[in-house]
Amino acid sequence: MPLNLFAKRTKEELFWKWFQANQSDIYHFEKDQELIFNKLSIALGKVHPDLTFEFSPIFENSRREFIISAGGILSAFPAVEQLYEVAPKLKNWDFVKFRQRRDPLLDLEFGEKKFKFKDIHYAISEDDDPEKVGIMIFIEGYDEGERSFWANVGYLFLDEALGEYDVEKHVGAIDFLNRESEYFEYSRPISELPDHFDKKIGRKQ
């Protein structure tokens, strides 16, 4: 008889096996969010160290979205695709690859601060790569001395407006600026970015 009767399970299959075994706790993660999120981070890290996740609220049909994200790291995109491809079909779950565009945009909370999308503006600029689009993001209160914090805020709004895939694949240089910038006069509300961006890259509506 062959020694190996069963094919070795891939790390992606092992993750989904773990997810299914714990899906009730994950579905109701609000009961112990810190513990569940820690377990999920460890389980995803075994698939790829850069994978991360998001959840939607529970919808009226009792389903909840589990979003598999590369955390904006292009090299982790194939890991997202591979994990998504073998996702099981489960009663209360919809699995989504990459953070998607939101319509309408949502206000965000990052750190201990809250940010309204109506206060975020953008301007499109030319990029050195003709196949990509440069974007300037204007944030009230932006401080170059705390660039890492403000850049995270800006990236979160960009992902909301364009989706993680387009930000990494089609956006080139990204500049974060205060609304006092000389370029602010050319800006538009970020709610207009999706349509403007799609036209810029030649995507049909």
Q: What are 84-130's pLDDT values in tens digits?
A: 999 999 999 999 999 999 999 989 988 888 999 999 999 999 999 98
- Please, which residues have CB within 8 angstroms of residue 165's CB and are 6 or more apart in sequence? 77, 98
**What is residue 1's predicted lDDT score, i.e. its pLDDT?**
42
* Nearest Cα to Cα of residue 136 among 185, 167, 174: 174
Distance of CA 6 to the CA centre of its chain: 36
pTM of the predicted structure, to 2 decimals? 0.81
Which of the 8 DSSP states describes residue 183?
G
User: What count of other Cβ atoms lies within 10 Å of the Cβ of residue 144?
Assistant: 9
**What is residue 9's predicted lDDT score, i.e. its pLDDT?**
84
Q: Which residues of the chain have pLDDT under 70?
A: 1-7, 204-205
What is the percent of the chain where pLDDT is above 70?
96
Domain ranges for the chain, please list them: 11-97, 108-200
Q: Is 201 left (phi over 0), alpha (psi -120 to 50) or beta?
A: alpha
Mean pLDDT, rounded, of the chain: 93
